[in-house]
Amino acid sequence: MNGVKISFDNTRTYINLTLSPAEFDKEIDMREIQSELNKGETKRVYISESALKSACDTANHYFKTADDSVVTERIGERKNAEVTFRVSEDAMSAQLVLTTPYGGKMPSKSTIASLAAKNNIQRGLSSKVITQVIKEAKTAPPGTTIERVVAKGLPPRNGRSSRFIPLVPNALERVLKPQSDDGERVDMRNLGEVVCVKANVPVLRRTEPTRGRTGFTVRGTIIPPIAGDWVEFKKGHGTVISDYDQNILVSKIAGMPKYQNQIMNIDDTYICSGVNVGTGHVNYEGAVLVNGDVTEKMEIKAAGDITINGFVESARIESDGDIIITEGAMGKVFDKGNEFNCQLIAGGSIHIQHGQGIDIHCSGNITIGRQLAYSRLRCGGTVTVGKLDNPMGNLFACEIISHGKVEAGTLGAISGSTLKVDFSQGFNLLLERKDSLDELLKQLRENNSKHKEKIDILKSKKIPKELRPKLADALEMFNNENALLQWIEAKVSEVKQAKVDYQNEIRLVANKRLYSGVSAKLNTRTWRSEREYDRAMVYFAEHQWHYNPIT
């Protein structure tokens, strides 16, 4: 281009543009100069477009007016990389902001670390992040801004309060984890020693609270942790604090231990070798341990857990706690009224090894060791047939009302006998609770809004001195109402989430085979198997039941 000269200064830092209008053939085009600048050594140098435009406009004006004045303008320069740091308000993190150089120098790793120290970033600096930023900057276009978190503080870890560790297992835990005879094979009938303790036996240990771990900010400020608290024993009946160790709870009486909700109870235990016409019915305000069978038409009722190391035939077993039957249970179903003469009713969970013709009703989970058929189940938890870690038992010809997952090896039978599972009850209870809370929340919000208007009016008025105590009382009541409103809103959110969780958790799982005649129901939504499937799962999502093979 005639009349255009691009050159570096003596330090080769700045770019000078010299325009001689007297040598122009025509008006100079700024884009042509930019094209030249994008070649060679000036390619990565910073160019000021405003300076370039100003020089071109002035030179073109001189060209049009036949003015021979030469235009000289500094239009660019080499710029080294720019490094800045941004520290968060809580000083728990710091960001490195690096702007890539325009033909200038790139800072080294040690230079960035030194600059961080000058910015009072003393701890938590990541040399790995610095290396990554430098590597990325070398290939990025000039003027690119790269931002990375380069330093992190360490939040304090608060101490853990006392924990309680049971020193004896609950009976149900022992049954669900049978003892091994030879280290390899497991005998489902070998439950170890009877789950009873003598007096003065340690049953619960309290751990010491921990001090926690100190933290720090990127500025180097130490953040002290909050130490854990000593949690007092919640002594259940039949227990007392040891005379020799204040962190040990011992049994005061001989009986059956039961640890629940951080409370260890020792139930006074009635032990017998069987329940039959010779012993009569058993009604006991404690735990019952039967080391034998329960025969036809006999009844056992207990306030504590009932453990039967034998077989139950056509009997009624009722417990406020758990029911554990290590062998099996069997009864008959009478067509008249669909009545069962073998009934198991528990306030907790129920475990039996195998069963047929049983009416089971419990608030907790139902676990079956091997097989259950021709029975009626109502439970507030899950139904599992087989080992807990890999349920492979058989479940067929039953009517089930469950609040949780139903899982077995085989669901249904090759004969096509029906297996009905209804998940509606638990869902409807949540809906009823949600509707009640919504109605209460609506009423509270209306009242709170009215009260707020009146409080605002009172605050805007000049209150006589003698009435100020009454205003203070009104404000306190209003604040209490606000606190109640927030609590109800939190409960409404919890119930909404519980409703979502319930739908996500209910399902049928067949780990071996699912036969025809198996159905799952949630209110008006029903799924029924019309053929035989291999390993399968039936779950509820988006208001519909879905079938998925298990691979």
Q: Give 179-189 pLDDT, tens digit per residue.
A: 554 444 444 44
- The answer on pLDDT for 213 being more than 90 is yes
Backbone angles phi, psi at 528, to 5 degrees: -140, 135
Q: What is the model's pLDDT at position 193?
A: 45
Q: Which residues pair with 269 in a beta bridge?
A: 287
- The answer on pLDDT for 196 being more than 70 is yes
State the DSSP H helix or E strand holding residue 282, giving kind and residue range, or none if neither.
strand 282-284
Q: Which residues neighbour 380 within 8 Å (Cβ) at sequence distance 6 or greater?
A: 362, 363, 364, 403, 426
pLDDT tens digits along 70-115: 888 888 888 889 999 999 999 999 999 999 998 888 999 999 999 9
Averaged pLDDT score across all residues of the chain? 88
Q: Which residues pair with 235 in a beta bridge?
A: 264
Q: What is the model's pLDDT at position 75?
A: 86
Q: Judge contact between 95 and 148, C-beta under 8 A.
A: yes
What's the start-to-end Cα distance of the chain, in Å?
72
Q: Which of 79-93, 248-262, 526-540 has the lowest mean pLDDT?
A: 248-262
- The answer on pLDDT for 422 being more than 50 is yes
SS3 at position 438: helix
Q: What is the model's pLDDT at position 544?
A: 93
Q: Judge contact between 177 and 114, C-beta under 8 A.
A: no
Mean pLDDT along residues 450-459: 87
pLDDT tens digits along 345-393: 999 999 999 999 999 999 999 999 999 999 999 999 999 999 988 899 9
Q: Judge contact between 27 and 60, C-beta under 8 A.
A: yes
In three state form, how does the secondary structure of 174-204 look? Answer: HHHCCCECCCCCECCCCCCCCCCECCCCEEE
**Helix/strand/coil percentages in the chain, nearest 5:** 25, 35, 40
C-alpha 345/C-alpha 339 separation (Å) is 15
pLDDT tens digits along 52-68: 888 888 888 888 888 88
Q: Which of 67-76, 285-294, 331-340, 512-521 has the lowest mean pLDDT?
A: 331-340
498-514 per-residue burial string, b: 16 or more CB within 10 A, e: under 16: eeeebbeebbbbbbbbb
Q: Judge contact between 514 and 412, C-beta under 8 A.
A: yes
Q: Which residues neighbour 499 within 8 Å (Cβ) at sequence distance 6 or greater?
A: 427, 430, 431, 434
**Residue (of 222, 217, 224) closest to 152 by Cα position:** 217
**Residue (of 540, 523, 541, 525) closest to 424 by Cα position:** 523
Mean pLDDT along residues 445-463: 87
Indicate the Cα dihedral angle 71, 73, 75, 79, nearest 10°: 160
Q: Where in the chain are the domains? A: 4-77, 82-152, 365-550
